Amino acid sequence: MPFHTPSRFPRGFRCASRNVGLKPTDKDLAAFVSDVDAAAAAVFTRNHFPGAPIILGREVVRGGVLRAIVANSKCSNVATGEEGVANARRMAIAGAEEFGTSPDRVLVSSTGVIGVPLPIEKIEQGLPGMSAELQDDPLVGARGIMTTDSHPKTISCGVAGSEATITWVAKGAGMIEPNMATMLVYIFTDARFTAAELDEMLREAVRDSFNMLSVDTDTSTSDTCVIMANGLAGHAPRAGFAAALKEGCVQMAEIIARDGEGATRMLRVSVRGALDEGEARFVAKAINNSPLIKTMVHGADPNVGRILMAIGKCFDCTIVPDRTDAWVNGFQVVQGGRRLAFDDAVVRQSLSSDEVHIEVALGVGEGQAMAFGCDLTKGYIEENAAYYSS
Amino acid sequence: MPFHTPSRFPRGFRCASRNVGLKPTDKDLAAFVSDVDAAAAAVFTRNHFPGAPIILGREVVRGGVLRAIVANSKCSNVATGEEGVANARRMAIAGAEEFGTSPDRVLVSSTGVIGVPLPIEKIEQGLPGMSAELQDDPLVGARGIMTTDSHPKTISCGVAGSEATITWVAKGAGMIEPNMATMLVYIFTDARFTAAELDEMLREAVRDSFNMLSVDTDTSTSDTCVIMANGLAGHAPRAGFAAALKEGCVQMAEIIARDGEGATRMLRVSVRGALDEGEARFVAKAINNSPLIKTMVHGADPNVGRILMAIGKCFDCTIVPDRTDAWVNGFQVVQGGRRLAFDDAVVRQSLSSDEVHIEVALGVGEGQAMAFGCDLTKGYIEENAAYYSS
């Protein structure tokens, strides 16, 4: 399936972004709008302290119809109590007025610092007039939702056997760990599906993509992945659409992993031969999240014994040391639970790539899984030791 | 219970350390010897890839009697197959010959890089003559087992109602996460107890100390905590001994946390009011291990909303947002799930201490627990991005 950076949205979708004074000069408010009502489904963070936009979003998405998404950065409107939920409602009302729909068809998102009140007046004063600025270029909206991202994130693909296309717009760089992984992923398509069909396909796609993505094991209180299907391109074959949706989510998960806070390399961990899929997912995540694996990858240090350490700390999984093999970018480094005697320079070279793929075969069953992450660097420390203060 | 840095061992224990050529010039081999047989118990790593010394150590400790411990650094003898176990046996035999006992009374420990063969000849050639160098100062042995530690770690205390004392000698700075936390902790006492009594008291002490300690969530393949009791001071009251043992293990856990790789501050997390003790332990560890909490502590950044994020990602625990309170070094920052409006400067000041104590009250039950850790810094990245190569 060929993915590309889109220059335009699927039929009937447009976006705009502005600075409304939450940040000094950068864009801090974005809107994504469909010309007509769109069937919709969403998956939200499982964190026990969901942001006010998540509390409201669950209610809104239950209706199965969306017309617009309005998102601000700088303040996440989390841990702000009833006043926070009231502010999220005011944001939806302001969006509905501007884009000519009802508040129950507007999803709001907020990302940024946890626990400070949302400056709702700035948003209410900043929104009017945005409908006149709506345009067809997804990059405009992608730029509008960036926080610590180093670049805007959009991809697009066609759906085989149809006129439909799918476009992903996302942000996310830190506080990223399943469930859900990504802070914000908005998916737009002009294919026609019901909300129930979208919900089923979205959950399946998220399971193997964003829910296997971790930058730092920390789960955001704001994570949102939403899909809007406005039907303007008519019917699309379900199987082909579901496959494209999943593949695009995996691609976007990798794009987010590669842009993880401070990251210099993307890490992909695949596990096969686990007792079952659950254990495969657990082991893949343990390797993907290990600080000692992540620093080894960062330093391109051929200290591959750490792969065994990380597998071995999965206490409740079935691990048989002498059946355990491992590869780094295709080069075998562990066989039967023993580190092979190899030329360090070869592994060092292999670890020096932009992408590091660690493969593990456990030899005890048929379970397999893949996880996505990145290296751990001083850049991560720098970004996060003064996030609030800066 | 007053703890101090000991200038001498409990009666009948001595130690020595040497450079035998595993490292360029630093001490790389240490021995701890009792003048008489000592009852012994130990707890080892739960990692599925235990080092050869762990495999042999489980067998040796089953006998309940130890005379000596011989430990090398630089090479951990892990993931080295049958040859590795054979090398560990040769190390025990060499120790037994030198210290006049049988190999089944010698515990060996190896720490360092995973997956490279142990240079056993250097150890066999380096050991002879060490018995003549045995001395009463625990610091000599503590220095001999250091790897990335910034200082040798020893503490000591008396046992109330007896003539007995207890001395802890430990090393550990990274790859530290329960079960077990510490790479090596050796505990020596001249009190008289059976191996079964020691085993029970040691497990209880380790549970609330080293098993609640994490520097980086990674579980070493070499962790060992062993106690030797040679009885030369006669009887000691069991309750008092058990209390001193646990308290000393907590103290040593804090000493190790404070010396975590790259650490500039110690982190102590206490949770109360959890549904049960299991959930209290889970939440305490989640906060203690969160990279975003650890970087916040490092930067003394009053971004305390992250405490709620970390509590909230404990998906399977009972969390009631509006009953959740939190304090930083005694200063309340969260009440009823909401970040309080406080003077940032006060919290920044409080976070700037050598010790940061995060307290959480969940308000749903009686469960409580405490976890020990440290901040996450560029120093950690530096030490671990080139550990193998340097």
Contact A377 B381 (CB under 8 A): yes
Whether A217 sits inside 8 A of B310 (CB atoms) is: no
Domain final position from A224, A258, A292: A258
Residue B1 scores a pLDDT above 70: no
Nearest CB to B79 within list A47, A115, A308: A308
Q: Is the pLDDT of residue B2 over 90?
A: no
> What's the confidence (pLDDT) of residue B185?
85
Say if A343 falls within a structural domain: yes
Give the residue from chain A lying closest to B311, CA to CA: A48
Tell me the two tokens of residue A322.
């002498």
B4 CB neighbour count, 10 Å cutoff:
10
Chain B contact for A302 (CB, 8 A cutoff):
yes
Report how far residue A48's alpha carbon sits from residue B157's, in angstroms, rounded to the nearest whole number.
Answer: 43
Judged against a pLDDT cut of 80, whether residue B109 lies above it is answered with: yes
A350 at B interface, C-beta within 8 A: no
Q: Do B321 and A48 touch (CB under 8 A)?
A: yes
Interface of B with A in 371-390 (CB under 8 A): 376-378, 380-382, 384-389
- Beta-bridge mates of residue B14: B33
CB contact residues (below 8 A), chain B span 149-208, against chain A: 174-175, 177, 179
Out of A114, A308, A385, name the one closest to residue B49 (CB).
A308
pLDDT band at B203 (very low <50, low <70, confident <90, very high): very high
Facing residue for B305 by CB, picked from A79, A305, A385: A79
Whether residues B139 and B234 share a domain: the answer is yes
Pair (A112, A201) in one structural domain: yes
Q: Which residue of B has its CA nearest to A287?
A: B218
Q: CB distance from A257 to chain B under 8 Å? A: no
From the candidates B101, B182, B219, B377, give the one annotated as an active-site residue.
B182
Q: Which of B49, B76, B312 sits opposite A47 (nearest CB)?
A: B312
- Which chain B residue is nearest to residue A313, measuring alpha carbons? B47
Same domain? A293 vs A325: yes
Among B54, B180, B211, B309, the strongest candidate for a mutation testing the A interface, having the largest count of A CBs within 10 A, is B309
Residue numbers in B near A337 (CB within 8 A): 49, 79, 81
Annotate A29-51 with b (16+ C-beta within 10 A) or e (fewer): bbbbbbeeebbbbbbbbbbbbbb
- Per-residue pLDDT at B175 exceeds 80: no
Indicate whether B360 and B271 sit together in one domain.
yes
Choose the mutation target among A339, A352, A375, A377 for the interface with B, i.e. most B CBs under 10 Å.
Answer: A339
Residues of A annotated as catalytic (active site), given as ranges: 182
- Partner B contacted by A335 (CB < 8 A): no
What's the number of CA atoms in the CB half-sphere (13 Å) around residue B353?
14
Mind telling me how many Å the CA of A260 is from chain B's nearest CA? 13
Q: Which residue has better confidence, A144 or B300?
A: A144
* Mean predicted lDDT score pLDDT of chain B: 89
A334:B79 CB<8 A: yes
Q: Find residue A268's DSSP bridge partners.
A: A357, A372
A295 occurs within a structural domain: yes
Name which of A47, A295, A304 is nearest B381 (Cβ-Cβ).
Answer: A295
Contact check, Cβ <8 Å, A48/B301:
no
Residue B8 falls inside a structural domain: no
What is the nearest CA distance from B222 to chain A, expressed in angstroms?
10
Q: Are residues A191 and A159 in the same domain?
A: yes
Task: Count chain A–chain B contacts defined by CB atoms under 8 A.
Answer: 223
Q: What is the pLDDT of residue A149?
A: 82
Residues B272 and B180 in one domain: no
User: Contacts of residue B310 in chain A, CB cutoff 8 Å?
Assistant: 218
- The verdict on residue B346 lying in a domain is yes
Inter-chain residue contact A299 with B389, CB threshold 8 Å? yes
B182 a catalytic residue? yes
Q: A372: number of CA atoms within 13 Å, CB side? A: 25
Compute how many other C-beta atoms are within 10 angstroms of the C-beta atom of residue A269. 26
Q: Are residues B228 and B124 in the same domain?
A: yes
| Confidence tier at B220 by pLDDT (50, 70, 90) | low
**Which amino acid, one-letter code, is at A201?**
M
Residue type, B133: E
B166, B188 Cβ separation under 8 angstroms? yes
Number of separate domains in chain A: 2
> pLDDT, tens digit, for every residue of B48-97?
888 899 999 999 999 999 999 999 988 889 888 899 999 999 999 999 99
My answer on whether A371 and A235 are in the same domain is: no
For CA atoms A40, A45, A50, A52, the dihedral sign is negative
Same domain? For B67 and B195 the reply is yes
Contact A388 B310 (CB under 8 A): no
pLDDT of residue A370: 93
Q: What is the mean pLDDT of residues B121-146?
A: 95
Does A158 lie in the same domain as A235?
yes
User: Six-digit token pair at B256?
Assistant: 């190790």
CA distance A228 to chain B (A): 27
A105 and A85 belong to one structural domain: yes
Nearest to B214 by CA among A356, A291, A277, A367: A291
Mean pLDDT of B212-237: 83
Low-confidence residues of chain A: pLDDT under 50: 178-182
Residue numbers in B near A332 (CB within 8 A): none
A61/B168 Cα distance (integer angstroms): 59
> Does any domain span residue B4?
no
What residues in B contact A387, CB-CB < 8 Å?
A: 296, 301, 303
Q: Which member of A221, A296, A387 has the closest CB to residue B303?
A: A387
Q: What residue in A sits closest to B307 (Cα-Cα)?
A: A114
Q: Decide if A216 and B292 are in contact by the 8 Å CB cutoff.
A: yes
pLDDT number for residue B216: 67
Domain that holds residue A164: 13-258
| B295 reaches A (C-beta below 8 A) | yes
* Residue type present at position A125: Q
- Tell me if A6 is assigned to some domain: no
Structure tokens at A110: 């907020």
Query: In chain B, whose CA is at the least distance from the CA of A80?
Result: B338
| Residue B334 at interface with chain A, using a CB cutoff of 8 Å | yes
Whose tokens are 């295709």? That residue is A330
List B residues 97-136 in contact with A (Cβ-Cβ < 8 A).
Answer: 113-116
HEC string for chain A? CCCECCCCCCCCEEEEEECCCCCCCCCCEEEEEEEEEEEEEEEECCCCCCCHHHHHHHHHHHCCEEEEEEEECCECCCCCHHHHHHHHHHHHHHHHHHHCCCHHHEEEEECCECCCCCCHHHHHHHCCCHHHHCECCHHHHHHHCCCCCCCCEEEEEECCCCCCEEEEEEECCCCCCCCCCCCEEEEEECCCCCHHHHHHHHHHHHHCCHHHECCCCCCCCCCEEEEEECCCCCCCCHHHHHHHHHHHHHHHHHHHHHCCCCCCCEEEEEEEEECCHHHHHHHHHHHHHCHHHHHHHHHCCCCCHHHHHHHHCCCCCCCCHHHCEEEECCEEEEECCEECCCCHHHHHHHHCCCEEEEEEECCCCCEEEEEEEECCCHHHHHHHCCCCCC
* B298 compared with B14, residue with greater pLDDT: B14
- Percent of chain B predicted with pLDDT > 90: 60
Which residue in A134, A9, A59, A321 sits closest to B115, CA to CA? A321
> Of B206, B232, B258, which residue sits at a domain end?
B258
Assigned domain for B3 exists: no
Find the CATH number of the domain harbouring B109: 3.60.70.12
Residue B248 included in any domain: yes
Q: Which residue of B has its CA nearest to A342?
A: B116
Which chain B residues have a beta carbon less than 8 Å from that of A216?
A: 291-292
User: What gap in Å lies between CA B106 and CA B56, rounded to an integer?
Assistant: 10
**Distance of residue A345 Cα from the nearest chain B Cα, in angstroms:** 11
Its sign, for the CA torsion B234, B240, B245, B248, is negative
- pTM given for the model: 0.81
Q: Interior CA angle at B287 toward B285 and B291, to 5°?
A: 110
Closest chain B residue to A305 measured between Cα atoms? B114
Phi-psi domain of A244 (left: phi exceeds 0; alpha: psi -120 through 50; beta: other): alpha
Residue B180 has pLDDT above 60, yes or no: no
Claim to verify: residue A110 and residue A133 sit in the same structural domain: yes
Domain final position from B238, B258, B278: B258
Residue of B nearest to A339 (CA): B115
Cβ pair A219:B309 closer than 8 A: yes
Tell me the chain B residues in contact with residue A116 when contact means C-beta distances shorter than 8 Å: 305, 339
The helix-helix angle for B81-99 and B52-62 (nearest 10°) equals 50
Q: Is B321 on the interface with A (CB under 8 A)?
A: yes
Is the predicted pLDDT of residue B226 greater than 90, yes or no?
no
CATH number for the domain harbouring residue B378: 3.10.20.340
Q: Is the pLDDT of residue B176 over 80?
A: no
